[in-house]
Structure 1
Amino acid sequence: MAGMTADNRLWKRIGLGAALAVPLVVLVLVVGVLPTLLMAAQREALEDTPADHGIAYEDVSLTTADGVAINGWWMPDATPAGIDEFTGEPIETRGVIIFIHGANSNRADPYVNAFGLYKLLTRMQHHVLAIDMRNSGTSQAWGGGQLDWGRAEARDVLAAVDYAQIRGGGEPIIPFGVSMGGAAALTAAAQDSRIRGLILLDPMLDTYDTMARGTVAAAGFPLALAHVTTTAAGLLHGAPAFETTLKDQGMTYARPTLLIQDERDPVNRRIHAEEIVAANRNIDLWVAPHPADDHPLLAAAGGWGTHVAAFQLYPDEVAALLDAYLTMVHAICDAEDLEAAASMPLAGAR
């Protein structure tokens, strides 16, 4: 072109190259880098123990069926010995609660107020076994340190069931799963009949939706960009974004289940909880009302909002729910156990 110097042509080529390179870099970032960050477990160190909160405990170590070392705490029933004033029977341990934390947390789960929950449950005639899932807390790394969104983590729950079955003397075993831990608990419960009930707090029921909205909560991305990243994670990086959802599994789960759902949880949304409850009469749903907009918890939580906050917001209401639910489950288990014992042939019978 007449009048264009060599320097002008050079800068034009640099500008054209930059114009082409920037979208390419953004594409690589959104499709290649961000999905791997989304799937990577963020290990948080344990800072407190139950003893720091007045709870008796001992450290336990488990090994899963696929050889992963899992660490946890065993917290025994803290109910004072005595006679029940209503039944006249000795006060005995009623069962074992297995606590399964959410993604990127650990057995001390501060987002739930786990220690407050342990104190409550051990005073409700229950032992509590709290574990760190793989890639979390002090448990072993696995799968390159990537979250498996409840699939592999279900093996951690099953290892905890094995331990609870022995240590709890055969008393009913009830997992308490939080967020992704709820997905792991539900997956395990569908595989193992020793699990006699299930408690879920804001459970992950739709993996794709949770991954996308968790990206918005964690990184502040626009939802449209989060959808692109989540789609790439499923199509290119092995995330279970497009597999059968836990919601489908929950619709057919046949044991009594208590589902506690924060009304406006931005990550694991109420709509999914309502869908499985509408399809499964074994699930009881309690929706924790959204707090006032100026509530300090909302300011501290940022984009996560009220995700898994129900017990922190409404401790008395959740305590009453748990007491009623556990009373119902144990009544059902007692009736089932009596029926099973009655149907067994007597020793020596022909």
Structure 2
Amino acid sequence: MLGNMISNMMVKPGQSPLFDTPEAHGLAYENVVFKAEDGTTLRGWLINGGEDRVIVQTHFGVQCNRGGWTPKGHGPISPWKRDIQFLRQAKYLVEQGYSVLMYDMRGHGESDLGPIPWVSWGPEEAKDVLAAVDFVTERFPEASIGLLSICMGAASTTYAYGRENGLATRLNVKAMVAVQPLLYTCFMEALGMPKFMVRAGERVSEKRLGFDMSQPNFVKDAPKVTVPTLVVQNQNDPWTQMGMVEDYYKALTVEKELKLLDIEKSRFAAYDYVGSHPQDLLGWFDKYMR
């Protein structure tokens, strides 16, 4: 019973329905559908801002979707008190001449479940990042692609670089902004959950996923990233270990920058910062995608 409860918190899909739309932000778009290599159907918005430069935005996990995150439905004790609308940064990018693909990873929003019907924190979702890049490439064969990858999205993107025939072979990808990459093990330790509870949840999750969640480590794939990467991290984030973020940054062998934010003591503050201060972060794409 306890193990199921802990595992559900970490890997149960479908915990956040869509709550925002491009129309609400005055954005021209189309609904799109494409498939990952294992046949999983993914759904998203392709927001029109031009055909030369396209940003693929990959959201964070479990309680998120392509539109962002909302406190609605999460009870009175919520880690953040207002909506985090990812369409704010999409609007900014469109105004700078980019198109933006915002899609739901498997098990999130309106996308289907994968063959493993649980959230894997990146190893399975890496297939979705590849599918999104390939979809954009097919639609805009001459476009440069940038990756805006948030939390589990950053993990998934890095795993996608580590895969055989992975992102390293997609030469039209030119830059990445990785917002608060997070290992499952570091998150669990930062939460301060008693070890017996962690072990109980991990036993259930291993049966569901088919692997021990403490084993995959995207930091080991960071040296395989081939594009200039901006790593963004709130240094006051209580749900991570700064040493892990520094290890990830050090492991990158490309042109890189680590931007540490000194903002509210909440992990969600950095997710909100991307949309409220897009000019501070997203100029990275301008630098490498001209």
TM-score bracket for the superposition, by shorter chain length: 0.7 to 0.9
How many Å apart are 1:308 and its aligned residue? 4.2
> In structure 2, how many angstroms separate the alpha carbons of the residues matched to 1:287 and 1:120?
22
> In structure 2, how many angstroms separate the alpha carbons of the residues matched to 1:226 and 1:266?
19
2:17 aligned partner:
45
1:307 aligned partner:
267
**Residue number among 110, 123, 129 corresponding to 1:151 in the alignment:** 123
Question: Does the 8 Å CA contact 1:103/1:180 hold for their aligned counterparts?
Answer: yes
**Residue number among 85, 93, 114 corresponding to 1:121 in the alignment:** 93
**Structure 1 residues 1-350: aligned runs within 5 Å:** 29-31=1-3, 34-77=6-49, 93-104=51-62, 105-110=64-69, 112-143=84-115, 145-190=117-162, 191-192=166-167, 193-194=169-170, 195-204=173-182, 206-213=183-190, 216=191, 222-229=193-200, 231-233=202-204, 237=208, 238-282=210-254, 283-291=256-264, 306-310=266-270, 312-313=272-273, 318-323=278-283, 325-331=284-290
How many Å apart are 1:189 and its aligned residue? 3.4
Quickly say closer, same or farther: Cα 1:148–1:315, change in 2 above 3 A.
Answer: closer
Q: Which has the higher strand share?
A: 2
Question: Does the 8 Å CA contact 1:212/1:230 hold for their aligned counterparts?
Answer: no
Question: Does the 8 Å CA contact 2:85/2:275 hold for their aligned counterparts?
Answer: no
Higher radius of gyration, 1 or 2: 1
How many Å apart are 1:244 and its aligned residue? 3.9
**C-alpha deviations, 1:133-167, integer Å up to 9, x for none?**
11111111234631111111111111111110022
How large is the Cα RMSD of the aligned pairs?
Answer: 2.6
> In structure 2, how many angstroms separate the alpha carbons of the residues matched to 1:107 and 1:46?
8
Quickly say closer, same or farther: Cα 1:223–1:179, change in 2 above 3 A.
Answer: farther
Q: SS state of the match for residue 10, structure 2?
A: helix
> In structure 1, how many angstroms separate the alpha carbons of the residues matched to 2:68 and 2:60?
8
> In structure 2, how many angstroms separate the alpha carbons of the residues matched to 1:113 and 1:94?
25
Quick one: which amino acid aligns to residue 177 of structure 2?
A: I
Quick one: which amino acid aligns to residue 200 of structure 1?
A: A
Question: Does the 8 Å CA contact 1:202/1:308 hold for their aligned counterparts?
Answer: no
Q: Percent identity?
A: 23
**C-alpha deviations, 1:173-219, integer Å up to 9, x for none?**
12211111111122223412323222111112x23223454xx4xxx
How many residues in Structure 1 have an aligned counterpart in Structure 2?
A: 268
**C-alpha deviations, 1:60-89, integer Å up to 9, x for none?**
0011111111100000117xxxxxxxxxxx
Question: Does the 8 Å CA contact 1:112/1:309 hold for their aligned counterparts?
Answer: no
**C-alpha deviations, 1:52-111, integer Å up to 9, x for none?**
111111100011111111100000117xxxxxxxxxxxxxx5411111111121110036
Question: Does the 8 Å CA contact 2:219/2:251 hold for their aligned counterparts?
Answer: no
Question: Does the 8 Å CA contact 2:58/2:105 hold for their aligned counterparts?
Answer: yes
Quickly say closer, same or farther: Cα 1:223–1:119, change in 2 above 3 A.
Answer: farther
Q: SS state of the match for residue 106, structure 1?
A: coil
Quick one: which amino acid aligns to residue 309 of structure 1?
A: A
Q: Which has the higher helix share?
A: 1
Quickly say closer, same or farther: Cα 1:314–1:73, change in 2 above 3 A.
Answer: closer
- Asked which structure has the greater RCO (Cα within 8 Å, sep 6+), the reply is 2
> In structure 2, how many angstroms separate the alpha carbons of the residues matched to 1:103 and 1:316?
20
Quickly say closer, same or farther: Cα 1:244–1:146, change in 2 above 3 A.
Answer: closer
Question: Does the 8 Å CA contact 2:161/2:221 hold for their aligned counterparts?
Answer: no
**C-alpha deviations, 1:228-253, integer Å up to 9, x for none?**
34543566553442324111211442
Quickly say closer, same or farther: Cα 1:277–1:57, change in 2 above 3 A.
Answer: same
Quick one: which amino acid aligns to residue 184 of structure 2?
A: T
The alignment's TM-score, normalised by the length of structure 1, stands at 0.69
